[in-house]
Amino acid sequence: MSIRVGIVGISGFGGGEALRLVAGHPHFELVHAAGEGSAGSRLGERFPGLPARLAGLVIEKWDPAALPALDVLFASLPTGHSAEALARVPAGVKIVDIGGDHRYAEGWAYGLADVWPEAIQGQRLVANPGCFPAATLTALAPLLAQGLIEPGSIVIDAKTGISGAGRGGADSRFGFAESNENLVPYGLLKHTHMPEMATTIERLSGGSAAGLVFTPHLVPMTRGVLATIYCRGQATTAQCLSAAREFYAGREFVRVTDAPPQTKWATGSNLAFVSYAADPGRNLVIAMGAVDNLGKGAAGQAVQNANLICGLPETAGLDGAPVWP
Amino acid sequence: MSIRVGIVGISGFGGGEALRLVAGHPHFELVHAAGEGSAGSRLGERFPGLPARLAGLVIEKWDPAALPALDVLFASLPTGHSAEALARVPAGVKIVDIGGDHRYAEGWAYGLADVWPEAIQGQRLVANPGCFPAATLTALAPLLAQGLIEPGSIVIDAKTGISGAGRGGADSRFGFAESNENLVPYGLLKHTHMPEMATTIERLSGGSAAGLVFTPHLVPMTRGVLATIYCRGQATTAQCLSAAREFYAGREFVRVTDAPPQTKWATGSNLAFVSYAADPGRNLVIAMGAVDNLGKGAAGQAVQNANLICGLPETAGLDGAPVWP
Amino acid sequence: MSIRVGIVGISGFGGGEALRLVAGHPHFELVHAAGEGSAGSRLGERFPGLPARLAGLVIEKWDPAALPALDVLFASLPTGHSAEALARVPAGVKIVDIGGDHRYAEGWAYGLADVWPEAIQGQRLVANPGCFPAATLTALAPLLAQGLIEPGSIVIDAKTGISGAGRGGADSRFGFAESNENLVPYGLLKHTHMPEMATTIERLSGGSAAGLVFTPHLVPMTRGVLATIYCRGQATTAQCLSAAREFYAGREFVRVTDAPPQTKWATGSNLAFVSYAADPGRNLVIAMGAVDNLGKGAAGQAVQNANLICGLPETAGLDGAPVWP
Amino acid sequence: MSIRVGIVGISGFGGGEALRLVAGHPHFELVHAAGEGSAGSRLGERFPGLPARLAGLVIEKWDPAALPALDVLFASLPTGHSAEALARVPAGVKIVDIGGDHRYAEGWAYGLADVWPEAIQGQRLVANPGCFPAATLTALAPLLAQGLIEPGSIVIDAKTGISGAGRGGADSRFGFAESNENLVPYGLLKHTHMPEMATTIERLSGGSAAGLVFTPHLVPMTRGVLATIYCRGQATTAQCLSAAREFYAGREFVRVTDAPPQTKWATGSNLAFVSYAADPGRNLVIAMGAVDNLGKGAAGQAVQNANLICGLPETAGLDGAPVWP
């Protein structure tokens, strides 16, 4: 089966990773690529390692009214740039929005694919979770679903590689010279990913996420998100691990590990690694989730969502092992 | 005034940084260097950029019974290696132990120099704080001293550069290939720095630190420690900043900043940067502290302590601005 | 078709990358893994992101006399450790030696697969080129074959990521703290890769490589080799590019680019990128080659060689696009 | 003695490093700082680790006609931006131009301070060498001066950290995500530093540098320049080392080492490390020079030049040991 695929936002890191995954997908045929900065170039000029059969495709200027016939469109646009434009995409085109505009928007399924695959299957419009929520919620879901932690007092200390700032965001703060050998907390008490996480925590637990705290940090690495999450709860480490293993039984992309997860375990893959350490005597559960911010945190999860809405095996095009070291 | 100084542990990163600072100190004269791996070499072979006047000094095998006449000894030995040996140092030699064996040991002052300088002045034996405690306690001290946070529910999410693992600890986990592009939580619920932090929190607050949580992470950078600390308290951000500014008024090495502190601000210096973000509505205070783990977290603070016990100006040899970028 | 594959040296970086590629190969079935440091572990403990079907395989102690039935063995052992041992592998097993012991050894084909595929097809024993030769010779081959440069006066300035030092070589020189922010020339005028390059240059050109100069440098990155090669010759840039495009016409893994090649273009792939800049007025041709030292420089080329000796399509299991950024 | 100093270009990396060195200089008093992007800010907002006595100085808009009374001005402006403006600086102000506009310009001394200190003493206008020339020429000078190599066939393979691209040059190519784990040759056969190097080679040797080849590479590190230089000559390694030791006898900032020099040896200092490896049988001399591109390659050398023109000890403010690791 061949599914006609387009990607908009091909100049960015998320769009580029979607391109890599689509290029290796057994059922997807890339027929359209659109970008802002790179319109007019051939794909091979921008991505010198692309397979030869795709290198000649010309990048178009993004125009939702002038799309070729497509089955699926991946949109990876900066937050604020996709809401209006995607509304003009013809109704027959399925859309996975990697950007931030449609998370919990009306008419859009929330694409936390390892947790709610059934809610995504058969949908036309899917909003991909953000990279921080992908790491965080994958780790928390089993605990919340089984009532092992209190939803109202969750503290998320999150760390991201610098590709998370996006390619357009390349001011000197994200330049190598200023980023290397530096560690930067930012966006305290007001990050844009908070509402999405609060809503999902409430959906998973049935309780209020009112006390949610989220602190992101920029780490000098290209890829990777790690969330270290402090919760109140009476479960033991073994109970948490066991709950997660049960919750994700049969799910291909979530690995529950005894050791604390490392971001490099996930590089280049759609995997999420989760682990737990608890001390009931202190009413404490620490949950940890590690993903590749461009994999499970963006394009990997987007392809998984596309597989779900197209009725393909969930792992199609996503079974490559991570790149290590 | 010339003070005769020795350094033991010169092969390690802490000892090497002590050497750099002693070399630039206006009152210290290095007369003795001892090391394990490097005994027999000249200092200039190990440290090609050292000033010529020091390059010829031969590194000795460490023997506390065979020291030359010294005023001050800096000891930077792996934890477990200094307790017995330093007891054999002649009684006339002042000692600053950068290693972990004497923190809160009997007869040793705890060298948190920016907080308790008076308790260090005139002492003979000073135990330098660990690198994580240096970042953490400097940020917490004003809040604890003024009762702005509850001492019993502190969660410390700490991140360190890889020089923190020490030079001897160079197995492949700390090799470039496995460390770069990786982020690793470790030592959950059982790190060796916890007792030192708990004791200090209690000393500062008068209350129990029973609920202390501490999670260190390895970050792919050479230097730097950042502690992001989640506390319960009703203070506003402005109150926390104001308390810290008052607490550290006149103290040269602590900078209270409105923006979240970045580790690179401190590189190569003895500075500590602290900041705060609070939300009384959620009973939440976030404290942040950033230091160079080899500066304020090791050799910088050690020189500051040596200045204090020798009656020198606290900033002698420590007034260089950080290296940036 | 299913081909039974073994890997020895699974604890090292080359063996690990072979594992990743074998895991994604459509015709290879991994039935045996052997290692020194990791014997007794399951593969999944060492490689947490490995597909579940392989995670349970137990790593064996390396014993050439106790191999299961195999079609192909990948050997990735330190130089000096494979000559004697591989001689004891049963005669029915094809071997690709990623290590250095059999390059231009009697009975072994030299596996510069993009240049001499026909000489590899149908062989039983193939010696994989070293990582520096892979980058260098791929760039030089078209010029040498067409007589565009003089073989006797070639200067190779080569740069490698730190995984090239191997995992066993993890002393503190290769530790993150000492390697990061550092650039180190080494092995001047005596690197072990020189004879292999000289022999190949002579084989390609028919002339003597007597004047060969090779200077490797350690660069603070995990993967990647770049060779910048200074030659005497009268060709123009356009002639060199054209010669290379003709030489590699129809070859899947070599990309001839107008712009100077970057190592990151190749990361995670078996691609080699080559380009040229020439100034006939100065009798100068600069050739450049960039590869992933673990891809085309080790495991990628090894899988290509295995494909050739097994009669498979050369690209089987090797068609993934590089990971960027 | 107090010398009134100004810095223009304070927002850039070169200007920032000049600020750090001026702040620690025993005879310089910073009275003026000017910048483009940062005008109106206080220095302490831009450089949070600056000594308190300088933190309050307000950064001015750069206007050569509105300078306060100054003894020395350090100019660190992008190439092309200083020629016209510096001509309008009052005649009583000494100028060290770190930028590229005045190298070998009429009326300006060329500030290769370790080689020609006497030609700089007492001058009013000094043009600082570029970072690549600083590393290259320091290594070559002894060989050229003593006729040990042929000036007409020099091949320079140079590698720089990414701060060399400047702070203003922060497009996504210099962003962390695209630079990390990447190695990029650029500017082949046409770099702007070539004329300066050719002129100096001719000045040192009396011969023509007509065959000069220079290839720069971007390396994923913040600071550091290494030049690996291939020359024709009959000298032995010992003769080259000996010539360099004699040439630089009594010079504080050049270290001649037996081992190949590493960039990290120089970080944060004004030192240059040079070494040599030769093979008379192949008519080959390899010279190597390593510097900190912001130290000896920019601000360090600029302060050395300012010391020379002000009649101060050459090492004033420059005697700090390098930061390692």
Q: What is the CATH number of the domain that holds B143?
A: 3.30.360.10
Task: Give yes or no for a contact between B274 and B256, defined as CB atoms under 8 angstroms apart.
Answer: yes
Average pLDDT over all residues of chain D:
96
D277 touches chain B (CB under 8 A): no
Sign, CA torsion A22/A28/A31/A36: negative
Q: Is residue C154 part of a domain?
A: yes
C325 touches chain B (CB under 8 A): no
pLDDT for the residue B37: 84
pLDDT for the residue A310: 98
Contacts with A260 from chain B: Cβ below 8 Å:
184-186, 188
Mean pLDDT over D287-307 rounds to 98
Q: Please tell me which of the candidates A51, A321, A323 has its beta carbon nearest to residue C321.
A: A51
Mean pLDDT over C75-90 rounds to 94
D181 touches chain A (CB under 8 A): yes
Q: Which long-range contacts (CB under 8 A, 24 or more apart) does C248-256 make?
A: C248/C114, C248/C142, C251/C114, C252/A52, C252/C314, C252/C315, C253/C113, C253/C114, C253/C296, C253/C304, C253/C314, C253/C315, C253/C318, C254/C114, C254/C138, C255/A48, C255/A49
HSE-CB at D268 with a 13 A cutoff on CA atoms is 22
D183 touches chain C (CB under 8 A): yes
Determine the Cα–Cα distance for residues B253 and B134; give it in Å rounded to an integer. Answer: 12
Mean pLDDT over A196-206 rounds to 98
DSSP string for C183-238: -EE-STT--TTHHHHHHHHHHHHSS--TT-EEEEEE-SSSS-EEEEEEEE----HH
Asked if the Cβ–Cβ distance from D162 to A177 is below 8 Å, we say yes
In this structure, the answer to whether residues B223 and B89 fall within a common structural domain is: no
* Helix intervals (H) in chain C: 13-23, 43-46, 52-55, 83-86, 117-120, 131-145, 176-179, 194-205, 237-247, 300-310
In this structure, the answer to whether residues B76 and B218 fall within a common structural domain is: no
Catalytic residues of A: 131
In the block, tokens 């690995």 appear at A255
CA angle B56, D259, C290 (to 5 degrees): 150
pLDDT for the residue D192: 83
Task: Give yes or no for a contact between A293 and A102, defined as CB atoms under 8 angstroms apart.
Answer: no
D48 touches chain A (CB under 8 A): no
- Encode burial over D289-299: b for 16+ CB neighbours within 10 A, e otherwise: bbbbbbbbbbb
> 3-class SS at A55?
helix
pLDDT for the residue A255: 98
Task: Give yes or no for a contact between B135 and B291, defined as CB atoms under 8 angstroms apart.
Answer: yes
Q: Each residue of B137-189: pLDDT tens digit?
A: 999 999 999 999 999 999 999 999 999 998 865 578 899 999 999 999 999 99
Residue D131 in this model has a pLDDT that exceeds 70:
yes
In this structure, the answer to whether residues D245 and D179 fall within a common structural domain is: yes
Neighbours of D40 (CB within 10 A): 11
In this structure, the answer to whether residues D87 and D219 fall within a common structural domain is: no
Q: Is residue C320 part of a domain?
A: no
Q: What is the CA radius of gyration of chain C?
A: 19
Torsion, CA C145, CA C146, CA C148, CA C153, rounded to 10? 20
Percent of chain D with pLDDT over 70: 99
What token pair was written down for A85?
């434009």
Residue A78 in this model has a pLDDT that exceeds 70:
yes
Task: Give yes or no for a contact between C211 and C154, defined as CB atoms under 8 angstroms apart.
Answer: yes
Q: Is residue C182 part of a domain?
A: yes
Closest C-alpha to D297, from D74, D128, D114: D128
Determine the Cα–Cα distance for residues D146 and D137; give it in Å rounded to an integer. Answer: 14
Contacts with D49 from chain A: Cβ below 8 Å:
none
A vs B: CB pairs below 8 A: 128
Q: What is the CA radius of gyration of chain B?
A: 19
Determine the Cα–Cα distance for residues D100 and A242; give it in Å rounded to an integer. Answer: 64
In this structure, the answer to whether residues B144 and B119 fall within a common structural domain is: no
- Encode burial over C31-59: b for 16+ CB neighbours within 10 A, e otherwise: bbbbbbebeebbbbbbbbbbbeebbebeb
Q: Each residue of A11-61: pLDDT tens digit?
A: 999 999 999 999 999 999 999 999 988 999 999 999 999 999 999 999 999
Query: Rounded to 5 degrees, what are φ and ψ at A77?
Result: -110, 155
Q: Is residue C319 part of a domain?
A: no
Asked if the Cβ–Cβ distance from A20 to C324 is below 8 Å, we say yes
Contacts with C227 from chain D: Cβ below 8 Å:
none
Which of D171, D176, D182 best probes binding to C when mutated, by most C CB atoms within 10 angstroms?
A: D182
Determine the Cα–Cα distance for residues D22 and D303; give it in Å rounded to an integer. Answer: 8
pLDDT for the residue B170: 54
Asked if the Cβ–Cβ distance from D220 to C217 is below 8 Å, we say no
C215 forms bridges with which residues in the sheet?
C157
What token pair was written down for D48?
């949070």
Residue C170 in this model has a pLDDT that exceeds 60:
no
What is the least distance, in Å, from the CA of B280 to any CA of chain D?
28
Q: Each residue of B187-199: pLDDT tens digit?
A: 999 888 899 999 9
Which of B46, B172, B219, B323 best probes binding to C when mutated, by most C CB atoms within 10 angstroms?
A: B172
What token pair was written down for B183?
């982020």
In this structure, the answer to whether residues D160 and D197 fall within a common structural domain is: yes
Q: What is the CA radius of gyration of chain A?
A: 19
Q: How many helices (H) and strands (E) does chain C have?
A: 10, 13
* Helix intervals (H) in chain D: 13-23, 43-46, 52-55, 83-86, 117-120, 131-145, 176-179, 194-205, 237-247, 300-310
Task: Report cis status (omega within 30 of 0) of the bond before A133.
Answer: no
Contacts with D222 from chain A: Cβ below 8 Å:
176-177, 180-181
Q: Please tell me which of the candidates C48, C222, C320 has its beta carbon nearest to residue A273.
A: C48
Residue C1 in this model has a pLDDT that exceeds 80:
no
Closest C-alpha to D294, from D18, D10, D44: D18
Closest C-alpha to B312, from B143, B87, B72, B102: B72
Task: Give yes or no for a contact between C120 and C309, defined as CB atoms under 8 angstroms apart.
Answer: yes
What's the CATH code of the domain at B98? Answer: 3.40.50.720
DSSP string for B87-142: TTS-TTSEEEE-SSTTTT-TT-EE--TTT-HHHHTT-SEEEPPPHHHHHHHHHHHH
Task: Report cis status (omega within 30 of 0) of the bond before B325.
Answer: yes
Confidence of residue D193 (pLDDT cuts 50, 70, 90): confident
Task: Give yes or no for a contact between D230 and C214, defined as CB atoms under 8 angstroms apart.
Answer: no
Residue D139 in this model has a pLDDT that exceeds 80:
yes
Q: Please tell me which of the candidates C162, C170, C177 has its beta carbon nearest to residue B222.
A: C177
How large is the angle between the packed helices D300-310 and D13-23, nearest 10 degrees?
A: 50
In this structure, the answer to whether residues D85 and D176 fall within a common structural domain is: no
Full residue range of the structural domain in which residue B148 is found: 131-293
Sign, CA torsion B133/B134/B140/B144: positive
Residue C159 in this model has a pLDDT that exceeds 70:
yes
Asked if the Cβ–Cβ distance from B179 to C176 is below 8 Å, we say yes
In this structure, the answer to whether residues C99 and C141 fall within a common structural domain is: no
Give pTM, 2 decimals: 0.98
Asked if the Cβ–Cβ distance from D182 to C221 is below 8 Å, we say yes
Q: Indicate the burial class of B78 (C-beta count within 10 angstroms; 0-12, 13-18, 19 or more).
A: middle
What is the least distance, in Å, from the CA of D267 to any CA of chain C?
9
pLDDT for the residue B1: 72
Q: Which residues of chain B are modeled with pLDDT < 70?
A: 168-170
Residue A148 in this model has a pLDDT that exceeds 60:
yes
In this structure, the answer to whether residues D269 and D169 fall within a common structural domain is: yes
Q: Each residue of C99-127: pLDDT tens digit?
A: 999 999 999 999 999 999 999 999 999 99
> 3-class SS at A309?
helix
In this structure, the answer to whether residues A81 and A161 fall within a common structural domain is: no
Q: Chain C residue closest to B219 (CA)?
A: C176
Contacts with A222 from chain D: Cβ below 8 Å:
176-177, 180-181
Asked if the Cβ–Cβ distance from B324 to D51 is below 8 Å, we say no
Contacts with D168 from chain A: Cβ below 8 Å:
172
Q: Indicate the burial class of D107 (C-beta count within 10 angstroms; 0-12, 13-18, 19 or more).
A: exposed
List chains touching B (3+ CB pairs under 8 A): A, C, D
Asked if the Cβ–Cβ distance from A184 to B260 is below 8 Å, we say yes
In this structure, the answer to whether residues A223 and A271 fall within a common structural domain is: yes
Contacts with B170 from chain C: Cβ below 8 Å:
170-172, 174-175
Predicted complex ipTM exceeds 0.90: yes
Q: Is residue C315 part of a domain?
A: no
Q: How many domains does chain A have?
A: 2
C268 touches chain D (CB under 8 A): no
Q: Is residue B105 part of a domain?
A: yes
Contacts with A220 from chain B: Cβ below 8 Å:
219-221
Q: Is residue D315 part of a domain?
A: no
Task: Give yes or no for a contact between B5 and B69, defined as CB atoms under 8 angstroms apart.
Answer: no
Determine the Cα–Cα distance for residues D9 and D61; give it in Å rounded to an integer. Answer: 10
Mean pLDDT over D161-169 rounds to 86
In this structure, the answer to whether residues C146 and C274 fall within a common structural domain is: yes
Asked if the Cβ–Cβ distance from A170 to D167 is below 8 Å, we say no
HSE-CB at B315 with a 13 A cutoff on CA atoms is 12
Asked if the Cβ–Cβ distance from D177 to A171 is below 8 Å, we say no
Which helix (DSSP H) or strand (DSSP E) does residue A131 occupy? helix A131-145
Confidence of residue D45 (pLDDT cuts 50, 70, 90): very high
A11 touches chain C (CB under 8 A): no
Written as one letter, the residue type at D197 is M
Q: Is residue A315 part of a domain?
A: no
DSSP A298: I
Task: Give yes or no for a contact between D76 and D82, defined as CB atoms under 8 angstroms apart.
Answer: no
Q: Each residue of B15-45: pLDDT tens digit?
A: 999 999 999 999 999 999 999 889 999 999 9
pLDDT for the residue A246: 98
Q: Chain D residue closest to C188 (CA)?
A: D277
Closest C-alpha to C219, from C189, C182, C187, C192: C182
In the block, tokens 């370790």 appear at D114
pLDDT for the residue D170: 54
Which helix (DSSP H) or strand (DSSP E) does residue C291 occupy? strand C284-291
